[in-house]
Amino acid sequence: MAQTMQVPILARAQAKTHPQWAFFKGEFVPIADAKVSIMAQAINYGIGAFGGIRAYWNSEQQQLYVFRIENHMRRFLNACRLFNTMPPYSADDIRRIILELLRREEYREDAYIRPLLYNATEDITPRFYDVAFEFACFSRPQGDYIRLQVRACVSSWRRLDDNMVPSRGKLTGAYVNSAFSRSEAHWNGYDEAIVLNHDGHVAEGSAMNLFIVRDGTLITPPVTDNILEGITRHTLLQLARDELSLPVVERSIDRTELYIADEVIFCGTGAQVASVVEIDHRQIGDGQSGPVGRALQETYFAIVRGKNQKYASWLTPVY
């Protein structure tokens, strides 16, 4: 790893509007200098993998907590393996890079971190062999990615099948699929999209996992239904069992089950925990966040902000 650079102390009372630093080509550089060639295969073919990690600010403790960083490192490196390559840094190295990056930014607000592996080779033949994969990382201030109550539609675009483009890794090119479904939802007056897989079963949102509640049971598609193996999804499964004593089932979900569900819940690092209150012009439940969604939101946000010591092992302090 590159040696730590000296950074001038910034005023800590003001919220940041734009990140100042990136880790790029083995060192910390001003983010304006972290540039990739237009000829790179990452630009031309979307060959790359990324992670999405949240850090939450606790004003009472004056501490910024990164949520489940070890799980995110494991998933990011697994995504790299799909290309039959690995970044030139270990999980511990990347963890240290992330923490140093956040310290340099001196965030006193919620933030989002993106580690990135990208194919930097400047050649017109799309491939994973005889190429140069490089690692970079940046962060940014991040509030709510979506509202905590959203209206959604079932997209006409299907979720990519794992035998077409792997679903369980966050692969950069695959998110064109997400862009199509979310844009369609936006143009049709909705906040978000729900995508089906090629079997016609519910997969997930445009970039978040999905749960339904029926008759007191929390139900979510299995990881074999072309969904991302979500870390927030895994978190909510555990919280539902351990904190809410809810029965949990992982099984395929039919489209029409969405319409008659007692609750529908989105979750993800970006989405956090959000209730879907309308789908395809049909009101879900009473049109508000339901009791399970509210309980999961309350429990989740207490944990990520360091207010529940039972789950302190999920948090990595920055300062």
> From CA 296, how far away is CA 315, in angstroms rounded?
18
> From CA 261, how far away is CA 216, in angstroms rounded?
10
HSE-up of 188 (CA within 13 Å, CB side)? 18
Q: Please name the amino acid found at residue 126.
A: P
Q: Cα torsion for 307, 308, 311, 313, to the nearest 10°?
A: 40
Structure-token pair, residue 4: 């730590």
Identify the helix (H) or strand (E) that includes residue 236: helix 231-242
- Catalytic, out of 35, 170, 307, 310: 170
- Helix 231-242 / helix 69-81 crossing angle, nearest 10 deg: 140
Active site residue 170: yes
> From CA 49, how far away is CA 94, in angstroms rounded?
14
DSSP letters for 108-168: SS-EEEEEEEEE--B-SS--SSS--EEEEEEEEE---SS-SEEEEEE-SSPPPPTTTS-SS
User: Is-contact 117 143, C-beta < 8 A?
Assistant: no
State residue 113 phi and psi, 5-degree precision: -120, 135
Q: Which residues contact 261 (CB under 8 A, 6 or more apart)?
A: 212, 213, 214, 284, 285
Identify the helix (H) or strand (E) that includes residue 204: strand 202-205
Sign of the alpha-carbon dihedral angle for 124, 35, 51, 5: positive
Residues serving a catalytic function are: 170
